[in-house]
Amino acid sequence: MTNIWKIAVALTVFGTGAVAAERVVNLKGGAGRDTVEAMCSGCHSLDYIPLNSAFLDKQGWTAEVNKMINAYGAPIPQADAAKVVDYLSANYGK
């Protein structure tokens, strides 16, 4: 077997496992969850939310949402940004 075929077989076998291991993140229920899912999941995985919850309070979530809008150009209207911050700080704030 040539090296190319060995690499192709390895990528098929091991690459498939990585995709299969991906999990769906289900955010906590609450007012604003739909807005968070709609506004945030278009750019990144929602698993960032519970991962950062140990570090961010309302002020931290406000800064994080503002960073997404101002630095990364997230198309989040100001009214929705407030809903996102309220949801995140209520359900994933420290």
> Which pLDDT does position 24 carry in this prediction?
80
- Name which residue leads in pLDDT, 57 or 18: 57
Rg (the chain; Cα; Å):
18
> Which pLDDT does position 25 carry in this prediction?
84
The answer to whether the beta carbons of residues 76 and 39 sit under 8 Å apart is yes
> Which pLDDT does position 36 carry in this prediction?
96
Mean pLDDT of 16-40: 81
pLDDT band at 3 (very low <50, low <70, confident <90, very high): low
Distance between alpha carbon 1 and the CA centroid of its chain, in Å? 41
> Which pLDDT does position 52 carry in this prediction?
86
Q: From residue 50, how far is each of 11, 12, 58, 79 by CA, in Å?
A: 31, 31, 14, 23
Q: Does domain 25-92 have CATH number 1.10.10.60?
A: no
The answer to whether the beta carbons of residues 53 and 92 sit under 8 Å apart is yes
pLDDT band at 4 (very low <50, low <70, confident <90, very high): low
Q: What is the pTM of this model?
A: 0.74
